[in-house]
Amino acid sequence: MQITAAVARAPNAPFSLESLDLAEPREDEILVRVVAAGVCHTDIAMRDGVYPVPLPIVLGHEGAGVVERVGRAITKVAVGDHVAMSYHSCGQCACCREHAPNYCEQAFALNFSGARPDGSSALSQDGRSVHGHFFGQSSFATHALCHERNVVKVRKDMPLELLGPLGCGLMTGAGSVINNMKIAPGRSLAVFGVGAVGMAAVMAARLVGAGRIIAVDLTPSRLDLAEELGASDAVDATRGSVVETILSLSQGGVDFAFDTTGAPVVLRQAVESLARRGTCVTVGASKPGVEVSLDMAQLMTGGRQLRGVIEGDAVPDVFIPQLIEFHRQGRFPFDRLIRFYPFDRINAAVADSLSGRTIKPVLLMSTNAN
């Protein structure tokens, strides 16, 4: 079938909307009509060569839509089901068997190679192959192929336009707080960078009853919104020492620090803001080879920890429905982060995301979710 997709053809170049051919789903694939897809900084980083994905490629990994066709081996969803798409995993390695598919041993091949495991791509143009299968979906398109392991059936009374970002960015922020840190009521947290991931962490920390929640960012409007969504304190990183301010606010350091930036200087600030026996979690995507310098004595003598976390330690089939229910209860108002853009304005959405004007851009491929 012919579809419209946003193709990344060169690093730092705009996406181009093009007509592509999408092959029929194989027996283990699901064809989804994409209604909406979130724009994540990971998509931008891949386009710009932070990680070596092959070009040209169709990106997009926060898709939501309606199942149009299923392969013979599919039993999880049926035609007409509403779904959100997330990251892909093999289901067979040790991590997958131990309910940690976010650390799947085949994660790179399944999510970043630009092809199926056999090296083929379902996307082509005038007979020439175009890379796809990004996160097992490539949802910057009017239609996408996904799999049972990275598709989540969702309730039909929730707007599909809202649900795509639950598959990665919002799941990463909320999941890091709920699944990894397991913040107990009254404990303190500093969030470094309150974009979509950081804002989800702020909302999740409030949801679980954290005490002091400190938001750190460069953009005043984001800090204002973070306070509205649950932060007890907002720290403008352009004014004075971030570490000294947090140590003062928390009377000696926070129990948890959350780095969403991947910037070495910020990660060091996060670690230095910890109280004794505190834990810093980082989810920021850094270019391979980037190193961070830490005071080893401070890390060791205070019993502090530093952890890297992928996808919020979340199993999508379990966690995405939980986040939807939290939203229905009014306890996870992630809709306040979203601004919608027509699909053909994808480059404006990217620009607004990079400038900080929009926290979570969502592309609308269609206004009809039925």
Tokens 């809709």, located at residue = 335
Tokens 């009014």, located at residue = 330
At 210, is the pLDDT very low, low, confident or very high (cuts 50, 70, 90)?
very high
| Mean of pLDDT values over 249-264 | 96
Q: What separation in angstroms does the CA of 132 have from each of 5, 37, 261, 307, 352?
A: 10, 15, 26, 31, 25
Per-residue pLDDT, 285: 80
Residue 8: pLDDT over 60: yes
Question: Is it true that the peptide bond before 56 is cis, omega within 30 degrees of 0?
Answer: yes
CA dist 212 and 47 (Å) reads 37
**What is the C-alpha R_g of the chain?**
20
> What percent of the chain stands above pLDDT 70?
99
Residue 368: pLDDT over 50: no
| Mean of pLDDT values over 74-89 | 98
Among 215-224, 261-270, 280-289, the least confident range? 280-289
Residue 370: pLDDT over 60: no
The whole-chain average pLDDT of the chain stands at 96
Per-residue pLDDT, 284: 86
- In degrees rounded to 5, what are phi and psi of residue 98? -95, 25
| Core vs surface per residue 127-150: b (16+ CB within 10 A) or e | eeebbbbbbbbbbbbbbbbbbbbb
- What are the contacts of 364-368 at 24+ separation with CB within 8 A? 364/35, 364/36, 364/161, 364/340, 365/34, 365/35, 365/36, 365/37, 365/65, 365/141, 365/142, 366/33, 366/34, 366/35, 366/142, 368/35
Tokens 């190193």, located at residue = 291
At 228, is the pLDDT very low, low, confident or very high (cuts 50, 70, 90)?
very high
Q: Which residue, among 275, 254, 244, 241, has the nearest Cα to 211 in the 3D structure?
A: 254
At 304, is the pLDDT very low, low, confident or very high (cuts 50, 70, 90)?
very high
> What percent of the chain stands above pLDDT 90?
95
- In degrees rounded to 5, what are phi and psi of residue 249? -65, -35
At 288, is the pLDDT very low, low, confident or very high (cuts 50, 70, 90)?
confident
Residue 367: pLDDT over 70: no
Q: Does domain 173-310 have CATH number 3.50.50.60?
A: no
- In degrees rounded to 5, what are phi and psi of residue 214? -105, 120
Contact call for residues 203 and 174 (beta carbons, < 8 A): yes
Residue 63: pLDDT over 90: yes
pLDDT tens figures, 101-118:
999 999 999 999 999 999
Contact call for residues 139 and 34 (beta carbons, < 8 A): yes
Contact call for residues 255 and 189 (beta carbons, < 8 A): yes
Q: Which residue, among 211, 213, 175, 170, has the nearest Cα to 41 in the 3D structure?
A: 170
Domains 2-167+333-364 and 173-310 share a fold: no
CA dist 297 and 32 (Å) reads 52
* pTM: predicted TM-score of the whole model, two decimal places: 0.96
Domain-wise residue ranges, the chain: 2-167+333-364, 173-310
342 SS3 class: strand
pLDDT tens figures, 336-359:
999 999 999 999 999 999 999 999
pLDDT tens figures, 9-38:
999 999 999 999 999 999 999 999 999 999
Q: Which residue, among 270, 278, 38, has the nearest Cα to 170 in the 3D structure?
A: 38
Per-residue pLDDT, 286: 84
Per-residue pLDDT, 366: 72
Q: Does domain 2-167+333-364 have CATH number 3.90.180.10?
A: yes
> Which residues are bridge partners to 17 per DSSP?
6
